[in-house]
């Protein structure tokens, strides 16, 4: 098999790895290197073991690079868009210091914590999404299959229709007359909106708005602070200087608001100032308690330990808040669905009841 056939272009739309693939790569490579396997052999085993086609091709190319005398970090730099600066920097430091297994272990732990947090967010969204999906399907069923048979009957009645029935008839007519517009809007929300939201300026606006919403503002702050503290702690533990570690941490942050502030913090650190000096200026982004703890850690020389403590604290707090938010959204959605069902029932049953009363009289 030639190198050309197995080449993976990091700019390709399809050259992507899931968070789990990168986690397994770091964890399995850490175990094999710690067990004493030569790096070339360990990467070759990963090529055979991986269930991801992209990961197998990348592992094959990395193995080829190692054969040609390149380091693992140099090989990974070709896939910077896939792995990111955090991944590559930790491996580079590990190779230079002779502690690659430890760097991989730190990296695997960071990726695992990040992965668990993503799973918590996804799990918290499952119940609301199921309820909303069922609601949309039920609403569509009523509008497209039940109402077309009942509306002619209602309109033929010589009675004053109740407001709920008039509302249902109006909704049915709007849906019928503007079906393609409504369908296009629905498809845009489902397909187009996620694509547009990846544009940097739109993404930045979204992140600013999310940080102003009362119910989820603190959750987003906790998730981003957990991410910041964990990444910076792992980088410092890996032996990366603080200024460089802050720069990598900013680049590794998904939220553009926090990315901006962490990049500014990195400049502060490069100028010889402390992290807490910048955090103090923006208490709405970085909580006062966190800033005070970081200041104390900077003064005591225990920044790495305090950052990991804060990461664990924010992980627990964000998990608790996610659970509370999910528990709050569920009943609200059920109440809204109950209200819609009640209006539909009244709108359909009331005219039929009035008609039957007229027949009896």
H helix or E strand, kind and range, residue 16: none
| 107 C-beta neighbours (distance < 10 Å), count | 27
Dihedral pair phi/psi, residue 327, rounded to 5°: -65, -25
Res. 4: pLDDT tops 60:
no
Domains in the chain: boundaries: 3-98, 114-361
Lowest mean pLDDT among 30-34, 122-126, 210-214, 264-268: 122-126
d(CA 63, CA 30): 16
Q: What is the pLDDT of residue 58?
A: 92
Q: What is the pLDDT of residue 81?
A: 87
Q: Band of the pLDDT at 8, cuts 50, 70, 90?
A: low
d(CA 197, CA 48): 37
d(CA 38, CA 36): 6
Percentage of the chain with pLDDT > 90?
Answer: 34
Q: Band of the pLDDT at 329, cuts 50, 70, 90?
A: confident
d(CA 352, CA 346): 10
Res. 94: pLDDT tops 60:
yes
Q: Band of the pLDDT at 181, cuts 50, 70, 90?
A: very high
114-361 belongs to CATH 1.20.81.30: yes
User: What is the pTM (predicted TM-score) of this model?
Assistant: 0.75
Do 3-98 and 114-361 fold alike per CATH?
yes
Res. 159: pLDDT tops 80:
no
Lowest mean pLDDT among 13-17, 125-129, 135-139, 343-347: 13-17
Classify domain 3-98 by CATH architecture: Up-down Bundle (1.20)
Q: What tokens does 273 get?
A: 């100032």
Q: What tokens does 151 get?
A: 């509306």
Total residues belonging to the chain: 361
Mean of the per-residue pLDDT values of the chain: 85
């Amino acid at each position: 098999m030639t190198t050309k056939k197995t080449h993976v272009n990091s700019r390709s739309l399809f050259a992507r790895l899931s968070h789990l693939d990168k986690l397994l790569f770091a964890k399995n490579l850490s175990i094999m290197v710690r067990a004493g396997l030569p790096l070339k052999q360990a990467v070759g085993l990963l090529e055979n073991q991986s269930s991801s086609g992209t990961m197998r091709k990348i592992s094959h190319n990395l193995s080829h690079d190692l054969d040609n005398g390149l380091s693992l970090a140099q090989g990974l730099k070709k896939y910077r868009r896939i792995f990111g600066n955090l991944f590559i920097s930790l491996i580079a430091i590990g190779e230079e210091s002779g502690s690659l297994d430890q760097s991989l272990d730190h990296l695997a732990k960071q990726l695992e914590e990040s992965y668990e947090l993503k799973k918590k967010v996804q799990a918290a969204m499952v119940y609301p999404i199921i309820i909303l999906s069922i609601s949309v399907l039920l609403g569509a069923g009523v509008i497209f299959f039940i109402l077309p048979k009942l509306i002619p009957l209602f309109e033929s009645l010589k009675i004053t229709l109740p407001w709920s029935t008039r509302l249902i008839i109006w909704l049915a007519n709007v849906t019928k007359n503007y079906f393609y517009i409504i369908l296009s809007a629905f498809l845009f929300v489902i397909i187009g909106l996620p694509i547009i939201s990846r544009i940097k300026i739109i993404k930045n606006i979204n992140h600013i708005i999310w940080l102003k919403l009362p119910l989820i503002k603190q959750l987003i702050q906790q998730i981003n602070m957990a991410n910041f503290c964990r990444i910076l702690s792992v980088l410092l533990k890996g032996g990366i200087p603080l200024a460089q570690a802050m720069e990598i941490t900013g680049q590794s942050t998904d939220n553009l608001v926090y990315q901006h502030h962490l990049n500014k913090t990195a400049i502060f650190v490069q100028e010889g100032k402390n992290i807490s000096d910048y955090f103090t200026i923006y208490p709405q982004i970085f909580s006062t308690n966190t800033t005070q703890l970081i200041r104390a850690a900077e003064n005591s020389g225990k920044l790495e330990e305090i950052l990991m403590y804060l990461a664990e604290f924010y992980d627990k707090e964000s998990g608790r808040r996610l659970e509370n938010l999910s528990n709050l959204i569920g009943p609200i959605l059920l109440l809204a669905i109950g209200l819609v069902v009640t209006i539909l029932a009244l709108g359909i049953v009331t005219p039929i009841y009035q008609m039957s009363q007229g027949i009896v009289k």
